[in-house]
Amino acid sequence: MSDATEAGFALDPRLAHDTAFVGDDVLCRVLLMDDARFPWLILVPRRAGLTELDALGAADSAQLAREVHGAMRALRTVSPCDKLNVGALGNVVRQLHVHVVARCEGDAAWPGPVWGSGAARPYTPEARHALIARLRAALART
Amino acid sequence: MSDATEAGFALDPRLAHDTAFVGDDVLCRVLLMDDARFPWLILVPRRAGLTELDALGAADSAQLAREVHGAMRALRTVSPCDKLNVGALGNVVRQLHVHVVARCEGDAAWPGPVWGSGAARPYTPEARHALIARLRAALART
């Protein structure tokens, strides 16, 4: 992490409210969505003022792809799944963020998208703590 | 386009059914979703057997990002919008494909995702033809 990366960056309050901190990768803050229905990471590039993917320069774009791929591998490790969903929507929260969600056939939203699908079911503190520890270990290996 | 890119590639029949051909970029086939509710491109890397983003090598991943960014700029050109949504889901069609969708506040699914949101409203042949021509011109400039 460098000061240049972080200059002016502040996490959107809605994202902060809905998630738990997992770690900071080279470019992105990695967050766990507090919804036990789906193993779900959110990657937020630590750049001020970004809303769209094509505002990233080539180097940041390549780094984001590496970090998305790492998040996919980490989710697979902690929670075997049938499909991974990756999306940058931003209709509600405009700060650029990328969802990486492990999906299982028959899960609460299958085969639809997770966004807008019912109410989140928060983790218990113990389950959240344990999952974050496993995610950190898996991310460190990617 | 090279034979190596195309080797063994065949477009999923469901994607072919739901879309119209726009063009082939360096890596991806570019398709227009036949749903007049949302200006919506789908990019399909012309590689056989891909289902997940992290199966792409670094060079293909960077090329995909360039083509996604180009699709975003082309959609903005032909249809001013409030937000672009980018997603690779694949719960229904497993062949790797990336959605790039121009969203406007108050559109048929706003602020929810387009996937699974009601029935598609096909373009008239004239409207589809005209939009594809404008998209081709815009993509050629990106």
Each residue's pLDDT, cut to its tens digit, for chain A (142 residues) gives: 444 567 899 999 999 999 999 999 999 999 999 999 999 999 999 999 999 999 999 999 999 999 999 999 999 999 999 999 999 999 999 999 999 999 999 999 999 999 999 999 999 999 999 999 999 999 998 7
Query: Which residues, 6 or more positions from A135, have their beta carbon under 8 angstroms from its beta carbon?
Result: A22, A30, A32, A41, A74, A75, A78
Length of chain B, in residues: 142
pLDDT value at residue B4: 53
When pLDDT is averaged across residues B118-131 and rounded to a whole number, the result is: 97
What ipTM was assigned to the predicted interfaces of this complex? 0.95
User: So what's the pLDDT on residue B142?
Assistant: 79
Nearest by CB to B115, which of A88, A103, A112?
Answer: A112
pLDDT at A6: 77
Contact B62, B56 (CB under 8 A): no
Residues A86, A40 contacting (CB under 8 angstroms): no
The pLDDT of residue A2 is 46
Pairing state between β B83-88 and B98-103:
antiparallel
pLDDT class for B50, splitting at 50, 70, 90? very high
pLDDT at B2: 46
How far, in Å, CA of B62 to CA of A63, rounded? 10
Task: Show the DSSP H helices in A1-142 as ranges.
Answer: 3-6, 13-18, 58-78, 125-141
H helical segments located in B45-101:
58-78
Residues of B with Cβ-Cβ distance to A52 under 8 angstroms = 72, 83-84
Residue ranges of domains in chain B = 3-141
**Inter-residue contact B72 to B41 (CB < 8 Å):** no
| Of B69, B94, B103, Cβ closest to residue A53 | B69
The pair phi, psi for residue B26, each rounded to 5°, is: -60, -45
Neighbours of B110 (CB within 10 A): 17
Q: What is the second-level CATH architecture of the domain B3-141?
A: 2-Layer Sandwich (3.30)
Token readout for A124 is 């218990």
What is the percent of chain B where pLDDT is above 90?
Answer: 94
Of all residues in chain A, the one with the smallest CA distance to B62 is A62
Put residue B90 in one of left, alpha, beta given phi > 0 → left and psi -120 to 50 → alpha: left
| Chain B residues close to A80, C-beta within 8 Å | none
Instruction: Tell me the residue type at B37.
Output: R
Mutate one of B51, B68, B83, B104 to test the A interface: name it (highest A CB count within 10 A). Answer: B83
**Chain B: closest CA distance from residue A12 (Å):** 17
Å between B42 CA and nearest CA of chain A: 13
**pLDDT by residue (tens digit) across B19-37?**
999 999 999 999 999 999 9
Pull the structure tokens for residue B125.
Answer: 């042949």
